[in-house]
Structure 1
């Protein structure tokens, strides 16, 4: 018998209280990534409420929202989308278009669209949710800060860092003022601002923010809380980016230990820790240690989320990168192709992650001298990035740099030079003149100009 089933059996099959219990038990299972146990309970709650209260009742909207959230967590975005939309439609009709519940539905749908790379459709939903929150709760309410934070995440995904930083700083200010400087949400605000600074190459400014976030979480939540593991993971990634591998490794291992203890060895967050530790070992050239970690991460994600989940595509991509680094092109290529196939299926053909897959496959083919196959892949990756992220995003610069390198190797200096120049200009504007990516772009241009002489 399933845990909790005996309690559910105490109620008649269609009793409204059974729906509440089923919903709450499903939420508990979902928190521990036990999705196959959670889904039938959410569906049972939905069925009871539809029959007892009618299909347009707010409780039905809540049930739809919860089921959609579960499906979304498993990467089943196509199934989740209509449920989120129906939940929003019910609440708009039953409650009012400016009700806080409607703002929640708008935010959740926007999160789904963001995950799928539909940034243009997501942004007005985030902004409308923010507008409702400011109108109902006031501009300094913590819930408004959360909406601002989500909008900032979307803008960050698009590389609009100039717009993002003031939003993150306002979020932090609201949380500190409304909740106190040691509240866990302040740690979230610090974490997100630090991530932005890290992305821009401002490592020195990011590190104290990550450390303060970690300190708050340890103090307020306890040293073994999963959020502490997240902070350890983020700080480790920053240290890894600076080449401080020994410091990073101990943090990654502590994060993994916490997650295994608190969430169980087969939780998706444990897979993330395995993946990150493998990435560090790969960076240090410890390929033999890294490979089984990548494979275990993939196995956990496949079991917990399904074989077509975007996280599985990431695991395939990372394992392929490892094999590529070792010159195992024959093993790496089918993994890159499967990762791309999953991403195109689950996220759509124009998602930035698809561009990453195209780029990686192109690099592999490039190293094998298959130039004719490489160029269209580079161009499609660049086209996706320009469309989805905007023409001034650092990932566009990455695509320009790769395409320019291909053209240079073919002796097409005239075509390569403007691409290198544009890549350098984008990186200078987006990341700063001293960022490693900017320095690489500058070096590539200088090398080209030297060869032309």
Structure 2
């Protein structure tokens, strides 16, 4: 910035060295975090380069490349994709299709498409690019390895988490051999591999992978690096998904102050951790802690502050009080939804996710129906998020009184989840749980018991006998056995379950207390049934 006025004065504003200095200033401006300012400076420079040098000059094409890149970094991913699409034919004509800059532009175009919401298109473009990069640069070139990483990432975003995990596992071996086990890109691949394992349903494997990764990230990147902090959050959430809600909450409680110190209290990652902490506290049965958190935030920050609203919605969810969440959810809509959609477009994956959370918190069937249409259109019918929307829509159908319709919708979903995720994925098992539950609500208690018993065998095999989901299925079996006329069987099942719940969850956990209440009720009913008819009439 100090050099540029001297170059303009001595050499003139149109001298190639002056133009180069302007390019470098804009580039470093972007690297320092001012992507919008860098894009504006590159746009001004481009007009002068096209006038002084030539539209096809190498430096002019490089400026167009960096301008497209900075637009994407500044949040205009659609504009970045359009710019790369316009640039690519000129690069192929001037530099040739095999020039490294041309190949890089193809990669950037693919990634911009993915960021704009077309994950499948991004994966397809990278799949076409990869053989050319391997042929021109070699299979071990860093750009080739990067293309493989991006292909796997978008493959996972397009719904094929298992395929993405397999590709990342192969890539990791090559990165450790070519780059170094401690190279930044190697560590990023390990992070994404752990994440994709979790998305593919292997939450225990994901937790183990994050646990192995974390010490290496702390040693190489430092404990305060954003990637290290994110890995701590992912490890905590993986533990929760594997059944250890209390452990997840404890880990997130340790993480939150570090994120607030390093990133600030309003950073999206900090807010995400805050919500997840509230979620896992509730899952662990600690609604009292959530009530205390809500009171503290309302007093310190005000009732309409984002942090207060997040705590309010989390508490309402675990209380099972949809009415209590309506106001905070509406306020969250105002705080969370407008800016990302306005800046980046409503169909970006992150914005679809934000809209999903909002509709779920509001228990708004109309919003979910719109979300389902949007997700199928943008992400594809087999994408995990589209499957989640269909799950919620089926549940809302049942809650609206159409239990038979909910069963039919969940049965259709089960076929797709089994095909896309596999029969042992937690979401597939959850769908089977919902089918059994809504069958019971529709009046088929005996059929529900049979379906729950089949599910229980799978849960014991996949999740283990002490997993909360396994215990919950046993609770449903016991209750619906009684409703189907087998009161003695219900009593025996509740007694066996209570012993295990007290051992696994503790005597004061809400689920344990529910089982004790159910056991007492069925004991009373059986006592009445066992009395002689004349005693019952007195």
TM range (shorter): 0.7 to 0.9
1:276 is aligned, of 268, 272, 279, to: 272
- Give yes or no for contact 1:397–1:427 (8 Å, CA) kept in 2: yes
Cα distance in 2, alignment partners of residues 16 and 60 from structure 1: 11
Cα distance in 1, alignment partners of residues 16 and 149 from structure 2: 36
Cα distance in 1, alignment partners of residues 122 and 203 from structure 2: 30
> Structure 1 residues 91-100 or 11-20, which shifts more?
11-20
1:71 aligns to what? Answer: 71
Deviation for aligned residue 1:409: 2.6
- Give yes or no for contact 1:68–1:84 (8 Å, CA) kept in 2: yes
2:329 is aligned, of 332, 352, 357, to: 332
2:535 aligns to what? Answer: none
2:435 aligns to what? Answer: 445
SS at match of 2:155: helix
SS at match of 1:93: helix
2:374 aligns to what? Answer: 384
Deviation for aligned residue 1:202: 2.0
Q: Which has the larger radius of gyration?
A: 2
SS at match of 1:75: coil
Deviation for aligned residue 1:433: 5.0
Cα distance in 2, alignment partners of residues 249 and 198 from structure 1: 21
Q: Summarize the alignment of residues 275-354 of structure 1 with structure 2, pairs less than 5 Å apart.
A: 275-283=271-279, 284=281, 285=290, 286-287=293-294, 322=311, 324-325=313-314, 326=316, 327=324, 329-330=326-327, 332-333=329-330, 335-336=332-333, 351-353=348-350
Deviation for aligned residue 1:85: 2.1
Deviation for aligned residue 1:7: 2.1
Cα distance in 1, alignment partners of residues 402 and 376 from structure 2: 23
Instruction: Indicate how the Cα distance of structure 1 residues 121 and 273 shifts in structure 2: closer, same or farther if over 3 A, else same.
Output: closer
Deviation for aligned residue 1:109: 1.3
- Give yes or no for contact 2:201–2:425 (8 Å, CA) kept in 1: yes
Deviation for aligned residue 1:444: 1.7
Deviation for aligned residue 1:450: 1.0
Cα distance in 2, alignment partners of residues 211 and 20 from structure 1: 46
1:399 aligns to what? Answer: 389
Cα distance in 2, alignment partners of residues 68 and 293 from structure 1: 44
Deviation for aligned residue 1:114: 0.6
- Give yes or no for contact 2:162–2:200 (8 Å, CA) kept in 1: no
Deviation for aligned residue 1:425: 3.9
Instruction: Indicate how the Cα distance of structure 1 residues 362 and 218 shifts in structure 2: closer, same or farther if over 3 A, else same.
Output: closer
RMSD between superposed Cα atoms in Å: 3.4
Instruction: Indicate how the Cα distance of structure 1 residues 119 and 427 shifts in structure 2: closer, same or farther if over 3 A, else same.
Output: same
1:303 aligns to what? Answer: none
Q: Summarize the alignment of residues 84-99 of structure 1 with structure 2, pairs less than 5 Å apart.
A: 84-99=84-99
1:254 is aligned, of 254, 258, 262, to: 258
SS at match of 1:101: helix
The one-character-per-residue Cα deviations of 1:339-361 (angstroms, maximum 9, x if unpaired) are: 55656655556555565455445
2:61 aligns to what? Answer: 61
1:305 aligns to what? Answer: none
The one-character-per-residue Cα deviations of 1:273-326 (angstroms, maximum 9, x if unpaired) are: 32233223432323466789999xxx9xxxxxxxxxxxxxxxx8x986655445
Instruction: Indicate how the Cα distance of structure 1 residues 197 and 7 shifts in structure 2: closer, same or farther if over 3 A, else same.
Output: same
Specify which structure has the bigger relative contact order, considering alpha-carbon pairs within 8 angstroms and separated by 6 or more residues. Answer: 1
Instruction: Indicate how the Cα distance of structure 1 residues 357 and 250 shifts in structure 2: closer, same or farther if over 3 A, else same.
Output: closer
1:8 is aligned, of 4, 10, 21, to: 4
Moved over 6 A (4+): 289-295
Instruction: Indicate how the Cα distance of structure 1 residues 127 and 432 shifts in structure 2: closer, same or farther if over 3 A, else same.
Output: closer
SS at match of 1:407: helix
Instruction: Indicate how the Cα distance of structure 1 residues 348 and 69 shifts in structure 2: closer, same or farther if over 3 A, else same.
Output: same
**Residue 245 (1) aligns with residue 252 (2):** no
Q: Summarize the alignment of residues 98-113 of structure 1 with structure 2, pairs less than 5 Å apart.
A: 98-113=98-113
Cα distance in 1, alignment partners of residues 215 and 20 from structure 2: 37
- Give yes or no for contact 2:56–2:90 (8 Å, CA) kept in 1: yes
How many residue pairs match? The answer is 414
> Structure 1 stretches of 5 or more lacking a match?
300-315, 367-373
Cα distance in 2, alignment partners of residues 336 and 205 from structure 1: 35
Cα distance in 2, alignment partners of residues 88 and 135 from structure 1: 19
- Give yes or no for contact 1:71–1:79 (8 Å, CA) kept in 2: yes
Cα distance in 2, alignment partners of residues 31 and 380 from structure 1: 39
Deviation for aligned residue 1:197: 0.9
> Structure 1 residues 425-434 or 143-152, which shifts more?
425-434
- Give yes or no for contact 1:281–1:289 (8 Å, CA) kept in 2: no
Cα distance in 1, alignment partners of residues 179 and 301 from structure 2: 40
**Residue 38 (1) aligns with residue 38 (2):** yes
Superposition TM-score, scaled by structure 2 size: 0.67
Deviation for aligned residue 1:124: 3.3
Deviation for aligned residue 1:121: 3.5
Q: Summarize the alignment of residues 215-226 of structure 1 with structure 2, pairs less than 5 Å apart.
A: 215-226=215-226
2:165 aligns to what? Answer: 165
Deviation for aligned residue 1:113: 1.0
Cα distance in 2, alignment partners of residues 161 and 277 from structure 1: 23
The one-character-per-residue Cα deviations of 1:215-239 (angstroms, maximum 9, x if unpaired) are: 3344444555454444445444434
SS at match of 2:101: helix
**Residue 418 (1) aligns with residue 408 (2):** yes
